[in-house]
Amino acid sequence: MRRRRAVVTGGAGFLGSHLCERLLQEGYEVVCLDDFCTGTSANVEHLLEDSRFRLVRADVTDYIHVSGHVDAVLHLASPASPIDYLQLPLQTLKVGSIGTLHSLGLAKDKRARFLLASTSESYGDPLVHPQPETYWGNVNPVGPRGVYDEAKRFAEATTMAYSSACGVDTTIARIFNTFGPRMRPRDGRAIPTFIGQALRGEPLTVAGDGSQTRSVCYVDDLIEGLVRLLRSDTAGPVNIGNCGEMSVLQLARLIIDLTGSSSDISFVERPQDDPTVRRPDITLARTILGWEPVVDVREGLRRTIEWFRSESVGVEPVFVPLPSEPPLLADSRVG
């Protein structure tokens, strides 16, 4: 029988690398495309010994070609943290628009199922709480976060257009805050920032008064949700996230407790358009996919802290340059 084959854009990133790993476990051949704008080959280095895995340096905003059959295209390519999309606004807009068009074009050409990794940021600073998939959101299109929020909203609209106009088999996952091993220590998101500061004994920098809330999901649970969505016949969008909610200040104090750190809390200016609340309504995921998170947040944080310690990424200040192209990488024409 022909082995299933998946293309994962942004596959060397935090979420993408975990997804590549899981798809291999599911029996897929995996073609991982990444331009290493924010991803790194180190995230998938352990997969290179598997003959079913191929790592390709490619920018999906350029022309992409994959020869042979493809059963699934999973589009995860995009800067995903505030520090990244504020530094890379045009790249963020291009990968959400042109990159999505190219990825959908590949799925159309191969008659493959297409999964878009969208985001809870499509809800903006929500006025409905918790957020169901039927909520249209409250996004500032001209604010500093608009480049990411609107890129993902455009990507969703494009995905639905390819489904209705071209008959492409598509689905959309709206991913809420996710954490776990392989997060970049200085990507600007709260959990890696807090863990690094705690391990170095520095004050944890909490934005505003810390009363804004987040619902954080361990990466293994998130990936399980994506795989179930891929297997399903639902078009989505479907919220994938943990409906347990806590304030950012509570999260900081929990990380101090779990690391055994002597760090204090330092309050800093809150960024513009920073969401006040964030909590998914996962009724649809429970009903259609039979999915909900199973890893307790404390346990997930323990695993993540242990990874940071084992990699020594939180102990000393770290500067990680963008990786150069490893010799094993192919060009953007994938055989």
Positions annotated as catalytic residues are 148
Q: Which two tokens stand for residue 241?
A: 């996230």
Q: Name the helix (H) or strand (E) containing 83.
A: helix 82-87
Residue 158: Cβ within 10 Å count: 18
Selection from 329, 253, 241, 217 nearest residue 289 by Cα: 241
What does DSSP assign to residue 203? Answer: P
51 residue type, one letter: S
Q: Which helix (H) or strand (E) holds 42?
A: none
Helices and strands (H, E) in the chain, number of each type: 9, 15
Token pair, residue 269, equals 């200016």
Q: In terms of Cα–Cα distance, which of 50, 14, 6 is closest to 32?
A: 6
β-pair partners for 68:
none
Amino acid at 8: V
* Contact present, 137 and 78 (Cβ < 8 Å): no
Cα-flanking dihedrals φ and ψ of residue 11, to 5°? -75, -10
What residue type is 299 in one-letter code? E
Give yes or no for a contact between 34 and 11, defined as CB atoms under 8 angstroms apart: yes
Q: Which amino acid type is present at position 273?
A: D
The amino acid at residue 285 is A
Q: Is residue 145 within 8 Å of 153, Cβ to Cβ?
A: no
β-sheet bridge partners, residue 214: 246
